[in-house]
């Protein structure tokens, strides 16, 4: 573009209110930071289910604030004609497409994720073998905390190609499984009933949701699974531990033998 074309597109330097633009951008940043801090703070103080309605609002509000800020600031710099906008955004698109295509892909994937909601803050997801709770969603990526307290940053662009498994999909509770491996010589009916009672009497159990005990025969013995929901999905590991510890105590009381050979290999979690 030559200086004449630029003169048609942009206002003159002396006509641009840089201070006002700076104030608008600063205000937008302050609001975004406030939302990112205030909403999680409020969410953690409210009854359990409310948290899962409030947390997903953060990335939505952030993108709305950014859009409003861009729409407010742009007409202060560029003469608002259709021709100018087409020229500017065309040039921008060309530049970004080559130089920052992965970054832009992540940004667009982030917008798609907000709309389609394959995941949201508070969800427990598995991506490329990493499993954890989504703590926050940024523009380009989201952060999740694994059970080992490791922070994993996953770009939104993963939704184009990877399989993302969501354990709770916005709900407070998600299915947990405790496995038991027994020697095949035992009373299966008594074991199933005992394991069912173990689950029904767990202090973590969401008793309004069903409890199921499944059994599958394997070459080395019988594989039992207690499938149940905790009241709060964040207690997943405490819940499974409780089921396992009390289940083992209950089965020991039934004088069942544990599977020994070959070594019991837990099935991969999907």
Calculate the alpha carbon distances from 86 to 21, 73, 80, 91, 92 in Å: 22, 17, 10, 8, 10
Specify the residue, 123 or 173, whose C-beta has the smaller distance to another protein: 173
Inter-axis angle of helices 236-253 and 188-200, to 10 degrees?
Answer: 140
Peptide bond into 262 cis (omega under 30): yes
8 A C-beta contact, residue 203 and residue 188: no
Specify the residue, 145 or 250, whose C-beta has the smaller distance to another protein: 250
Write out the residues near another protein by the rule CB under 8 A. Answer: 42, 44-49, 172-173, 194, 197-198, 200-201, 203-204, 206-208, 231-232, 235, 238, 241-242, 246, 250, 253
Task: State in angstroms the smallest separation of the CB of 145 from another protein.
Answer: 18
Task: Look at residues 13, 140, 139, 16 and name the one whose alpha carbon lies nearest to residue 74.
Answer: 16
Task: State in angstroms the smallest separation of the CB of 252 from another protein.
Answer: 12
Specify the residue, 81 or 241, whose C-beta has the smaller distance to another protein: 241
User: In which residue are the tokens 């964040």 written?
Assistant: 234
Task: State in angstroms the smallest separation of the CB of 254 from another protein.
Answer: 11
For 140, the 3-state DSSP assignment is coil
Specify the residue, 152 or 250, whose C-beta has the smaller distance to another protein: 250
Give me 99's structure tokens.
């130089």
Specify the residue, 119 or 239, whose C-beta has the smaller distance to another protein: 239
Specify the residue, 167 or 243, whose C-beta has the smaller distance to another protein: 243
Task: State in angstroms the smallest separation of the CB of 194 from another protein.
Answer: 6
User: In which residue are the tokens 């573009």 written?
Assistant: 1
Task: State in angstroms the smallest separation of the CB of 201 from another protein.
Answer: 5
Task: State in angstroms the smallest separation of the CB of 191 from another protein.
Answer: 12
Task: State in angstroms the smallest separation of the CB of 119 from another protein.
Answer: 22
Task: State in angstroms the smallest separation of the CB of 151 from another protein.
Answer: 23
8 A C-beta contact, residue 135 and residue 121: yes
Specify the residue, 23 or 203, whose C-beta has the smaller distance to another protein: 203
Specify the residue, 43 or 113, whose C-beta has the smaller distance to another protein: 43
Q: Following DSSP, what letter does each residue of 71-120 receive, concatenated?
A: HHHHHHHB---HHHHHHHHHHHHHHHHHHSHHHHHHHHHHHHHHHH-S--
Residue 179 CB neighbour total at 10 angstroms: 15
Q: Following DSSP, what letter does each residue of 17-71 receive, concatenated?
A: -HHHHHHHHHHHHHHHHHHHHHHHHHHTTS-HHHHHHHTTHHHHHHHHHHHHHHH
């Amino acid at each position: 573009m030559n200086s004449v074309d630029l003169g048609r597109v942009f206002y003159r330097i002396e006509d641009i209110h840089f201070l006002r633009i700076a104030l608008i951008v600063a205000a937008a940043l302050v609001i975004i930071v406030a939302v990112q801090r205030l909403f999680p703070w409020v969410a953690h103080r409210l009854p359990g289910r409310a948290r899962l309605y409030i947390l997903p609002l953060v990335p939505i509000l952030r993108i709305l604030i950014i859009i409003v800020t861009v729409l407010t600031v742009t007409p202060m710099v560029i003469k608002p004609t259709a021709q100018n906008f087409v020229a500017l955004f065309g040039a921008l698109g060309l530049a970004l497409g080559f130089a920052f295509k992965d970054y832009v892909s992540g940004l667009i994937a982030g917008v798609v994720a907000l709309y389609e909601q394959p995941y949201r803050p508070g969800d427990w997801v598995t991506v490329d073998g990493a499993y954890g709770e989504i703590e926050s969603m940024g523009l380009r990526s989201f952060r999740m905390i694994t059970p080992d307290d490791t922070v994993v940053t996953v770009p939104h662009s993963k939704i184009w190609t990877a399989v993302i498994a969501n354990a709770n999909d916005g709900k407070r509770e998600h299915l947990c499984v405790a496995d038991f491996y027994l020697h095949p010589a035992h009373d299966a009916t008594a074991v199933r009933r005992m394991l069912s009672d173990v689950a029904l009497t767990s202090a973590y159990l969401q008793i309004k949701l069903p409890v199921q005990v499944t059994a599958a025969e394997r070459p080395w013995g019988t594989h039992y699974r207690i499938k149940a929901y905790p009241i709060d999905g964040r207690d997943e590991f405490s819940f499974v531990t409780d089921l396992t510890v009390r289940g083992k105590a209950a089965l020991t009381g039934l004088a069942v033998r544990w599977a020994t050979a070959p070594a019991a290999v837990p099935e991969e979690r999907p």
